[in-house]
Amino acid sequence: MDGDITGKAERFSRLRKLQNIVDGSFLFRLASFFIRYFLGIPAMFLLGKLVYHLRIKGKHNFRDIKGAMIAANHCQFIEPGFAMMISSPRKIICGASEKNVTRISIGWLTRLLGAFGIPNENPLSIASYIKETLRRGLLILFYPEGKLSWRSQTPGPFSEGFFLFAMLNNVPVLPLTEVLHERPIRRILPWWPPRTTFVLGAPVYPDHFKHPGLSRRKQIHSMSEHVRSVIIDTIKNEGGCETLPERRGPN
């Protein structure tokens, strides 16, 4: 019995450490604010304009939205930084694997920039944290594919866990589509990144999928499939390049 209590206490302590981006100490939150708004966002703006030829569409869809979740396709490592810039001045936090926020080398910076850890053993244990974060009017970014598909414009199957949180908290999900375009400079410098466009879609509300006689599981599945179809259609309509030479499947 004592062992169970001790184990639960350790897990709770670890969970709080993983999630201190929202409810950490005053000094942590102050450092996070400084790094985010005075270093991270300006750096992403310059990098986006100078290297990625970044374009952003649909920012008006943030209007009148308080707490919400953002579902994005996952095809470049730098995406969370761009999402932080796109949502500014709104604060966005991003779900990350436990190892990425606990590693000694860079975990502290990952948390300061807005990542929260998803425990390996019991990922649903973040439910109360998600609820409080949304209550405070923050935006939560997640990647339903789970794994990065490098420079791919064909989103893989979606995991439906985060859509469950949207349904339980009755908050909208905004599709954020990353569209990649080939560019002439890559003929000379093939390692140069593709031109990148982010399109923020209209909010998708859970109530649209709540039909009498339809189970919660099917409601969540329908919502997930709808968001995925929005992202796929946006890539197609924006002319996303599906033949980038370095594209590959989930890592």
Chain centroid, CA 73 distance in Å: 9
Judge contact between 196 and 48, C-beta under 8 A.
yes
Question: What's the CATH fold of domain 2-237?
Answer: Glycerol-3-phosphate (1)-acyltransferase (3.40.1130)
pLDDT digits (tens, 9 = 90+) for 119-139: 877 888 888 889 989 999 999
Q: Are 111 and 29 in contact (CB under 8 A)?
A: no
Q: Inform me whether the pLDDT recorded for 34 exceeds 60.
A: yes
pLDDT tens per residue across span 204-246: 999 999 988 889 999 999 999 999 999 999 999 999 999 999 9
Alpha helix ranges (H) inside the chain: 2-18, 20-23, 26-34, 41-50, 79-87, 98-102, 107-112, 127-135, 161-169, 185-188, 216-237
Spell out the domain ranges in the chain: 2-237
Higher-confidence position of 2 and 114: 114
Report whether pLDDT(49) > 70: yes
Does residue 196 contact residue 83 with C-beta atoms inside 8 Å?
A: no
pLDDT band of residue 12 (cuts 50, 70, 90) is very low
Question: pTM above the 0.85 mark?
Answer: yes
